[in-house]
Amino acid sequence: MNNSVVTKKNFLWVKWSRVVYCAALVGIIVGLITLMFKNLVEQYEHLLYNKAQNFKLFFFIFPVIGLMIIHFLRMYVFNKKKNKGISEVLEAVRNDKKLPAYKVPSHFFNGFLTVVFGGSTGIEVSTVVATSALGDMASRKDPIFKKYRKEFIGSAIACGVTLLFCSPLAGLFFSYETIGKQRTKVFWITHLVSVSFATLILLLMNVNPVFNLGNHDTVIHYQVIPFFVILSLLAALYGVYMTKMVTWIKSKNFLDFNPYLQILIGGLLLGGLLFVLPQLYGDGYHAIENIIHNNRFVSVGFWFLLGALFLKPFATGFSLKLGGDGGVFAPSIFGGAIMGALIGFIVQTYFFSDAQIINFVILGVGLTVAATLHAPFTALFLTFGMFNSYGLWIPLIILVFLSFFISKRIFPYTVYTLALKK
């Protein structure tokens, strides 16, 4: 009797110690890889974008180069299979399919090439899929872990999102809301341990938020509250618009019979769009930076920003149709920020001169991400982490759920769940 009790205790100790140890390794490895990937993309996207600004012809050349390299890598290195984005992670989790190891370099390389060469998307989805493959690989290293495969996949994804947006809570909630709503003890232990080590990397490496507004003095006037509500309604509609537009573009036949002709003509068309609206280049965060740090940017470029707002889903869908790697994560952030800036400018110009445009930008990001991804808690903490600003926490908490419920009522699918449905 005593021997059986001791044996059971030993088994539990071995099990939990290995789970914690593996979760810690996942947090460290995923955190470091994601940080290097993020820094590389930021550096080279900035470099090539500036070159294209100085020599406009590069807007046409860069997309063709990036898409052509991606095609050759897919054909001769990565098993001739297209990347499907987060939908392949959801499919793997729900149907217990293995995420092959080549998904790690495939998504990191293709995500890098897509964004730095002007593809109108971001690295968030590439990071999510690559890190999920790392989590899947970790779960196969010990017979004890196989039972907890979903938990390790989720914890790896949570680490990646934590590093991208400087927000541990955004990572935790993204895994919970998007990948799988699990409430098991193993889920919380793996996630908390992994994200803790990812957060430690954030602190040790002095990683800065994407848009650091730590010194921003937030002032909310009661006169602008109705316009905040209007912004939440428009964000819900824009989230549905983005979902439907991206999926529609990806489903259309565009020179599918000849991939080289498709890349050449499609890349030039995408380049033409970037030439007219350079705000659409890559993840578009450079345009958001201009809005934050240049008060005249919105007034001078109002119509260009309006065009970029409506054409961003088209540019994203077209980039993915041509073989680019990514999704609607960064485009949602871009669209929300631009829409918020435009509405804030209108309110400031015609209704209430003391309105702060930056408040509308911050709210626009959170509301649009919630509407597009159907992940309100992720949107909330992602916004806090990206801007390092918490002054709008009351309207954000209320309005992200309003935007989420309206968008889901209008169209109950995201880009990723709709792909599974088909």
352-375 pLDDT, tens digit per residue, is 888 899 999 999 999 999 999 999
Q: How many CB atoms lie within 10 A of CB 66?
A: 27
Dist CA 30 CA 197 (whole Å): 10
Distance CA 26, CA 317 (A): 32
Structural tokens at position 197: 């080590």
Tokens of 19: 């789970």
> Between vectors from CA 137 to CA 89 and to CA 160, what angle results, nearest 5°?
60
> Would the pLDDT of 1 be above 50?
no
- The reply to whether 222-421 shares the fold of 2-204 is yes
Domain 2-204 carries which CATH code?
1.10.3080.10
Name the DSSP class of 208.
Answer: P
Per-residue pLDDT tens digits for 210-223: 898 877 777 788 88
pLDDT of residue 9: 59
Q: Is the pLDDT of residue 123 over 60?
A: yes
Give the pair of three-digit tokens for residue 220.
């909310």
How far apart CA 132 and CA 101 sit, in angstroms, is 10
Domain limits of the chain? Answer: 2-204, 222-421
**What size, in residues, is the chain?**
422
pLDDT digits (tens, 9 = 90+) for 71-81: 999 888 887 77
Closest of 342, 275, 292 to residue 120, by C-alpha = 275
CB atoms inside a 10 Å sphere around CB 337: 30
Q: Please tell me the pTM assigned to this model.
A: 0.92
| pLDDT higher at 79 or 405 | 405
In the predicted structure, residue 12 carries a pLDDT above the cut 70:
no
Amino acid making up residue 312? K
Q: How far apart are alpha carbons 83 and 107 in whole angstroms? A: 7
Q: Average pLDDT of 82-99?
A: 78
Q: Which two tokens stand for residue 106?
A: 């495939």
CA distances from residue 237 to 102, 306, 404 in whole angstroms, order as listed: 37, 15, 10
Q: pLDDT grade, residue 141 (50/70/90)? A: confident
Average pLDDT, the chain: 89
The tens digit of pLDDT for each residue in 285-332 reads 999 999 988 877 888 889 999 999 999 999 999 999 999 998 899 999
Contact criterion met (CB below 8 Å) for 272 and 60: yes
CA distance 74 to 208: 33
Instruction: Give residue 401's pLDDT band: very low, low, confident or very high (50, 70, 90).
Output: very high
Can you tell me the mean pLDDT for 192-207?
94
CA distance 115 to 138: 28
Q: In angstroms, rounded to a whole number, what is the distance separating the alpha carbons of residues 288 and 313?
A: 17
- Of the listed ranges 70-74, 149-153, 399-403, the one predicted with least confidence: 149-153
> d(Cα 414, Cα 81) in Å, to the nearest integer?
23
Give the DSSP H or E segment for 264: helix 259-276
Q: What one-character-per-residue DSSP string does 339-354 give?
A: HHHHHHHHHHHHT-TT
Q: Is the pLDDT of residue 278 over 90?
A: yes
Per-residue pLDDT of 225-248, as tens digits, reads 999 999 999 999 999 999 999 999
Contact 121, 270 (CB under 8 A): no
| Record: fold of 222-421 | Clc chloride channel (1.10.3080)
pLDDT tier for residue 11 given thresholds of 50, 70 and 90:
low
Residue 255: the pLDDT is 84
Q: Are 388 and 166 in contact (CB under 8 A)?
A: yes
Q: Which percentage of the chain shows pLDDT scores above 90? A: 60
Count other C-beta atoms under 10 Å from residue 265's C-beta.
15
Q: What is the DSSP string of 29-80?
A: HHHHHHHHHHHHHHHHHHHHHHHHHHSTTHHHHHHHHHHHHHHHHHHHTSTT
